[in-house]
Structure 1
Amino acid sequence: MIKTAEAAFLVLSEMPGQINDSEILDLLYTRELDWKYMDAIKSLTAFSDETISDWFNISVKTLREYRKPGSSFKNNVKEQLLLLLTLIKHGTSVFGSHTAFDNWLRTPNFFFDQKVPASFLNTVTGIRFVNDRLTAMEYGDNV
C-alpha cells in the first residue's frame, strides 16, 4: 500500500505546472477524481478540515462524507480540486517546498490587502488571483 505522502506526490505529479483552462478541463472530464485527490491537499498543506471545507463551500461533514467509497464530487468541487492542486504544485515550485508555500499562504500580504492568500481560495477567481501573484513572483514582483 502506498503511503499518504507518496500518494499525494503522485497526484501532484499528474497536475499541470500552471493553471491552464484546457488542461484543467481535460483532467476534469478524463480523470476519475476520488478522495485521494482531496487527501493530497490535506497531506500537502497543514490546513484543517474546516479551512479546506470552506475553500470548497461545503460543510466539514460533507467533506468527510466524500471519504466513503462510491462517493463522487460535484463538478464545481472537482474543478476547484484540480485548480487547488495545480496551485499547490505551482506554489511549491516558486517557494521550493510545500512548507514554505504553506507558510506564505498563511501570512498577511500587501498584494492581498493585508489578508492571507489562503482566504482567497474559496472561489475560482480567488485561486486564479493567487496563481497570478505566484507568476508575478517568478518574474521578480512581490514576496
Structure 2
Amino acid sequence: MKKNFLNQKNGGNFGTNDVKMKNKYQNQNTETKVEEPMVAYANPLNIIDTARKGIKISNALDLVNKLGLSQLEFANILHVSLRTVQRFESSKLLDSDGSSKIIQLQNINTKGVNVFGSQSSFNQWIRTPLLSLNNKTPLQYFDTPFGFQLIEQLLGRIEHGIFA
C-alpha cells in the first residue's frame, strides 16, 4: 500500500513552502469543495462555474489521498511537473483545467466506490491492468478528458453487469 504522499520525504508536506506560485494558481477566499455531494454538480452550468472558480488545492489533495495516489501520479493527471506539485500551497486554488480534472476524478471516484462497494476496492481496481484497456490500468487514463470518459463508461458497463 502506498504511503500518504503528504507525509513523504522530498517536499511532500503541502502548504509549508512559501514559494510563490505562477498566476496559474490563484489565491482567493472563495472556498470550493470537491467533496461536496455530486448533486451540487448535477447541473452542467454548476460544474463549469465550479471549475472556473477553482478547486482549493487542499480539497484536491484530500481526494488524491483518498485514492492513494502519489505526488507523481497527481502531477501526471494535472500535466504539471513533480516539483510544481511539491510546491503547491493548500490554501491556493487550482486553475480551471486542473479543477475540471479534479471534478472528473471525484465523479469517477464516487461512481467507482458505488460500483465496487468500498474505497479500497476501487483504489485496487484503478491500479489493475485490464484487458479491455490493452493491459493498462484505469489510472493511466486519468490524464485526458477522453480517458476520464472511457473509464466512466467502463464503470457503467461493470455496474450493469456487462463484461468489461
Same fold (TM over 0.5): yes
How has the CA–CA distance of structure 1 residues 113 and 94 changed in structure 2, closer, same or farther, with 3 Å as cutoff?
same
Equivalent residue, structure 2, for 1:76 = 97
Unaligned runs of at least 5 residues, structure 2: 1-32
**C-alpha deviation, 1:65, in angstroms:** 2.4
CA distance in 2, matches of 1:126, 1:76: 15
1:24 aligns with 2:43: no
Bigger CA radius of gyration: 2
Within 5 A, what are the aligned runs for 1:36-47? Answer: 36-47=58-69
**Please, which of 78, 93, 100 is the counterpart of residue 114 of structure 2?**
93
> Residue type of the partner of 2:157?
A
How has the CA–CA distance of structure 1 residues 19 and 107 changed in structure 2, closer, same or farther, with 3 Å as cutoff?
farther
**C-alpha deviation, 1:84, in angstroms:** 0.6
Paired-residue identity, %: 20
Within 5 A, what are the aligned runs for 1:97-136? Answer: 97-136=118-157
CA distance in 2, matches of 1:137, 1:19: 22
Give the count of matched residue pairs.
Answer: 132
8 Å Cα contact 2:142/2:148 also seen in 1: yes
CA distance in 1, matches of 2:105, 2:76: 13
Report which of the two has the higher share of helix: 1
CA distance in 2, matches of 1:90, 1:18: 14
**C-alpha deviation, 1:42, in angstroms:** 2.3
What do you get for the CA RMSD once the two structures are aligned?
2.4
Unaligned runs of at least 5 residues, structure 1: 1-9
